[in-house]
Chain A
Amino acid sequence: MIEIELTAEQNQLRKTITDFSRKELNVDVAAHDRQGVFPLELWKKCAAMDIMALPFPEEYGGCGLDFLSTTVAIEALSYGCKDSGLVHGICAHLISGLLIKLFGSEEQKRLYLPRISRGEMIAAQAISEADAGSDVLSMLTKATRQGTEYIIDGRKMFISNASVADVILVLAVTDPGRKTMGAHSFFLLEKGVPGLSCGKAFEKMGLRTLQNSEVIIDVCPVSSDKLVGKEGQGAIIFNEMMEWERILFGACHLGSLTRVMETSVRYAKERKQFGQPIGKYQSVSNKIARMKISEELIRPLVHRAAAKKDLKQRAAKEASVIKVFASESLKSACLDAIQVHGAYGYMVEFEIEQDLRDSISSTIYSGTTEMNMQIIARLMGL
């Protein structure tokens, strides 16, 4: 088992991103949430801080940080920034860029990664469909080869960043005659390509600043140099990217959970009932202690799995363990935080209710808890 001790540079990175997030990103959070608008100005501030450049090689305009450092930075971002929709959008952008970094051609890396690193080109991945969620490889979107082009046709659903994206990585069926493995391929579709459009962003319970919409791909011609990796490699790329994504979202949930926990600690010390702070009552303090236990357990899991990816090792099981544990812990922590805050927690002004709404989908996206449990069991040989 890999034991991780963060370096002085990684601890400094955590502090720098936390300070930046607290100072610069908590602007009009409740108003943005109410309006469901994408906070472009805040996105630009994050880009100016090189957050979108963190994991990409310097030769492509990135910071050249390893994945462990990237998870430290994302945890700090999610800890400092109360707009979880913005943080989620950044994670989706980073994962899309990482897919290009890991599987793209040299030409694709040179074309896309510098602009993705600068945050001026927003990236998205379009995988889920209306009838292909957990059973994602049963998708209907097809890419049919015609000479030097592929004609892509289909519709994607609930796609994060879609309506603001400049480039979308689309997973489509290239060989309908095959079973799931070998049937799918990834393509890069740029905004403005004929036949590509996005629906209006959905109104959601939480993560409202994250723009999720339908992507309509209507007989869209794509040059074969926009194929990512090899034809038929889509399912394997998808599996690999899920590892990176689940670890990164684990870091993101950890940051949110820590912030919610610290808010609860402050309140439990200040709020007095029956002559003493409510934190002195075990029924209250136990809720916060459980948050602490989760925080202490999630962090080493995230760091170890990220370090495995840096060593080019597989971490499918670890990624699913993190995804289930971190998202379920975050959701429980937010519910408990509301209870700790009592009626005040239910009020929009106290901001905890937004954290709860934002946390609900964490056990759904990037593989539901149920699907991730299934993966863990399968990888245990069950």
Chain B
Amino acid sequence: MQTTDRIRQFISAELLSNASPSSLGDTDALIESGIIDSYGIMSVIAFIEKDFGIQLESHELIPDNFENIRAIAGLVDRKLGK
């Protein structure tokens, strides 16, 4: 499964009450729409660190890296050296 799909599946299940993953596009605004709020960001950070086995540094914890699924996947892939 691609990075984007794993992230999409998590956000759909955990932050959108099990909505269909297909309803969430790669560039749909997650922060502006309120899908990722101040609680949601904690879940997302914990998920990507655990699921992808990465550790985010403080300078990477910026809203731009969580704007949409593509941005989150980009962050993850950079950390994984993809």
Residues of A within 8 A of B (CB): 102-103, 137, 178-182, 229-230, 232-233, 235-240, 312-314, 316, 374-375, 378-379, 381
Contacts and interface: CB of A to CB of B under 8 A. Distances in A.
A137 B31 CA distance: 14
Interface-central residue, B31, B40, B58, B59, by most chain A CB under 10 Å? B58
A283 B42 CA distance: 43
A313 B38 contact: no
Nearest to B66: A181
Contacts of B40: 378
B39 A378 contact: yes
Contacts, number: 71
B62 A179 contact: no
Contacts of B28: none
Nearest to A136: B38
Contacts of A374: 39
15 contacts: A137-B38, A178-B31, A178-B32, A179-B31, A179-B34, A181-B31, A181-B37, A181-B63, A181-B66, A182-B63, A229-B58, A233-B62, A235-B41, A237-B58, A313-B55
Give the 6 A-B CB pairs with smallest separation, nearest first: A182-B63, A378-B39, A316-B42, A314-B46, A181-B31, A236-B61
Q: How large is the interface on B (under 10, 10 to 19, 20 to 34, 35 or more residues)?
A: 20 to 34
Given A230-B62, A236-B62, 20 more contacts: A102-B58, A103-B58, A179-B32, A180-B38, A181-B37, A181-B41, A181-B63, A181-B66, A229-B58, A232-B63, A233-B61, A235-B38, A236-B61, A238-B38, A239-B42, A312-B55, A314-B45, A316-B46, A379-B42, A379-B43
B1 to A, nearest CB: 20
A162 to B, nearest CB: 24
Contacts of B46: 314, 316, 379
Contacts of A378: 39-40, 42-43
A119 B31 CA distance: 39
B36 interface: yes
A239 B38 contact: yes
A342 to B, nearest CB: 44
B41 to A, nearest CB: 6
Contacts of B61: 233, 236-237, 240
B42 A314 contact: yes
A135 to B, nearest CB: 10
B42 A182 contact: no
Contacts of B64: 182, 232
B77 interface: no
A238 B42 CA distance: 11
A232 B58 contact: no
A230 B62 CA distance: 7
A355 B59 CA distance: 41
Contacts of B58: 102-103, 229, 237, 240
Contacts of B59: 229-230
Interface in B6-31: 13-14, 31
Nearest to A234: B63
Nearest to B32: A179
A372 to B, nearest CB: 12
B12 to A, nearest CB: 12
A375 B46 CA distance: 14
